[in-house]
């Protein structure tokens, strides 16, 4: 399940968890390597220069912005070492899920594998929705999803699901949305 | 108004409009310059290398992907010269709106100017929503929006508004959305 590793049971791992958490030496080392300008804060550009996907390309700006945004509680565009530790664990968690479904170790997953991954996360999506996600990631051939695209899809779905659940109190699977709220949620959860 | 220049009156300029439209020599010239690999098709990377914002930076990948996506009817990730003409007119239309509100010609607009721009487009947004859009664009100071960020916001809002209107048949300003549809719309209209 999304966020199942957080003691609070929240959908957003790390939110409200910044505190006296000890930083592991491994994370400290990573942080110093990523924080190129030694500002004590990491922005999405610094994160991007540290992350390579299975195709040997840097993670997309979108993936890096979304990941920073998940732990950037004060909306400053940067995170410190405490939030970085949460992000680090978060990324590694996604990488493990991804590798588990990338059975041929190709660095990308296909439609069937993506469907299984979401099933394991507790989602029951239609085949059309899975096809839609793949087509958006692989504009040319509509077949493959790379690890950073996978993280983008998971973060977007996780954030949107959280917003949906908050409004679907009776668990009907349908929510009502006024116009401006509809715009805010869609923009805020996806970019 | 959004899309008011399209004869069909559609919200998505260009959709369903590919046909025997004559291509202007100016657009033809631009197309050849942007189509660096001479494939006869333009992808978002080629578009990005041709577009510079008021801060002297290339347009963001997000802006370029969104703009290509608006005219990429076959979802191939690329557009030909006919669609490029529509995109070219579309970009110039936004640039004109932007310049109109960038009164001090700074290459970026502020909160008040953004509010006025949306008012002119027929939207009545709350001050909080305008603040939210600016804060997302200017992560550090929450003050300024560049032209490519402006285009991203306008395209997202335009596409989301179209989806909202289709469902708000009685013009109540509120729609009901099932879970998977909620996810698809949010992801599809914003990225």
Q: Which domain, by its residues, includes A89? A: 25-190
Task: Match 């990338």 to its residue by tokens.
Answer: A102
Residue among A160, A180, A191 whose CB faces B191 most closely: A191
Number of folded domains that form chain A:
1
Mean pLDDT of B37-41: 93
Q: Is the model's pLDDT at A41 over the cut of 90?
A: yes
Q: What is the pLDDT of residue A187?
A: 95
Q: What is the 3-state secondary structure (H, E, C) of A90-105?
A: HHHHHHHHHHHHCCCC
Q: DSSP characters for A38-57?
A: --S-B-HHHHHHH-B-TTS-
Judge whether A102 lies within some domain.
yes
Mean pLDDT of A100-105: 84
Mean pLDDT of A149-158: 91
Mean pLDDT of A33-46: 92
Task: Decide: residue A169, CB within 10 A, 0-12 exposed, 13-18 middle, 19+ buried.
Answer: exposed
| pLDDT, averaged across chain A | 84
Q: Give the span between the Cα atoms of B153 and B132, in whole angstroms.
A: 11
CA-based nearest distance A135→chain B, Å: 8
Mean pLDDT of A123-133: 95
Tokens at residue A187, please?
A: 């923009």
From B115, B110, B146, select the one nearest B128 (Cα to Cα): B115
Residue bearing the bigger pLDDT, B7 or A110: A110
Residue bearing the bigger pLDDT, B106 or B158: B158
From B158, B156, B165, B164, select the one nearest B191 (Cα to Cα): B156
Size (chain B), residues:
191
Mean pLDDT of A94-119: 87
CATH of the domain at A125: 1.10.238.10
A172-184 pLDDT tens trace: 999 999 999 999 9
The dihedral built from the CA positions of residue A147, A81, A38 and A76, taken in this order, carries a sign that is: positive
Judge whether B17 lies within some domain.
no
Q: Is the model's pLDDT at B157 over the cut of 50?
A: yes
CA distances from B98 to A6, A185, B127 (A): 44, 25, 19
Rounded to an integer, what is the distance from CA B8 to the centroid of its chain? 18
Q: Give the span between the Cα atoms of A139 and A152, in whole angstroms.
A: 15
A87, HSE (Cβ side, Cα atoms, 13 Å): 27
3-state DSSP assignment of residue A182:
helix
Q: What is the pLDDT of residue A20?
A: 58
Element housing B146 (H / E): strand B144-146
Tokens at residue A102, please?
A: 């990338």
Judge whether B2 lies within some domain.
no
Judge whether B11 lies within some domain.
no
Find all residues with CB under 8 Å of B52, minimum gap 6, and list them.
Answer: B58, B59
Judge whether A104 lies within some domain.
yes
Size (chain A), residues:
191
Q: What is the pLDDT of residue A105?
A: 81
Judge whether A34 lies within some domain.
yes
Pairs across A and B, CB distance < 8 A? 111
Judge whether A7 lies within some domain.
no
A163-172 pLDDT tens trace: 999 999 999 9
B91-110 pLDDT tens trace: 888 888 888 888 878 888 99
Q: Could you tell me what percent of chain A has a pLDDT over 90? A: 48
Q: What is the pLDDT of residue B20?
A: 58
Q: What is the pLDDT of residue B191?
A: 83
Residue among B156, B173, B183 whose CB faces A187 most closely: B156
From chain B, pick out residues whose CB is under 8 angstroms from the CB of A157. Answer: 183
Q: Is the model's pLDDT at A25 over the cut of 70?
A: yes
Find all residues with CB under 8 Å of A172, minimum gap 6, and list them.
Answer: none
B128-152 pLDDT tens trace: 999 999 998 887 788 899 888 998 9
For residue A11, what pLDDT band results from cuts at 50, 70 and 90?
very low
Task: Decide: residue A16, CB within 10 A, 0-12 exposed, 13-18 middle, 19+ buried.
Answer: exposed
Q: Is the model's pLDDT at B75 over the cut of 70?
A: yes
For residue B61, what pLDDT band results from cuts at 50, 70 and 90?
confident
Mean pLDDT of A14-43: 80
Mean pLDDT of A40-56: 88
Q: Does B70 touch chain A (CB under 8 A)?
A: no
Under an 8 A CB cutoff, do B189 and A191 touch?
A: no
Cβ neighbours around B141 below 10 Å, total: 10
Judge whether A183 lies within some domain.
yes
Residue among B75, B157, B182 whose CB faces A175 most closely: B182
Q: Does A135 touch chain B (CB under 8 A)?
A: yes
- Angle at which helices B25-34 and B81-101 pack, to 10 degrees? 100
Segment of B20-29, B67-76, B171-180 carrying the highest mean pLDDT? B171-180
């Amino acid at each position: 399940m999304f966020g199942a590793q957080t003691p609070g049971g929240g959908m957003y791992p790390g939110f409200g968890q910044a505190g006296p958490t000890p930083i592991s030496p491994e994370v400290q080392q990573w942080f110093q390597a990523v924080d190129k300008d030694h500002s004590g804060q990491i922005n999405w550009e610094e994160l991007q220069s540290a992350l390579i996907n299975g195709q040997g390309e840097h993670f997309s700006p979108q993936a890096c912005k979304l990941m920073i945004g998940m732990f950037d509680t004060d909306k400053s565009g940067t995170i410190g070492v405490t939030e970085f530790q949460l992000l680090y664990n978060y990324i590694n968690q996604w990488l493990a899920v991804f590798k588990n479904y990338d059975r041929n170790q190709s660095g990308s997953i296909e439609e069937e594998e993506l469907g299984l991954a979401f099933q394991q996360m507790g989602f029951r999506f239609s085949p059309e929705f899975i096809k839609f996600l793949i087509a958006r990631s692989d504009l040319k051939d509509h077949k493959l999803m790379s690890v950073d695209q996978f993280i983008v899809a998971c973060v977007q779905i996780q954030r949107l699901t959280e917003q949906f659940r908050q409004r679907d109190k009776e668990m009907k699977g349908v929510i009502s949305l006024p116009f401006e709220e509809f715009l805010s949620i869609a923009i805020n959860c996806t970019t």
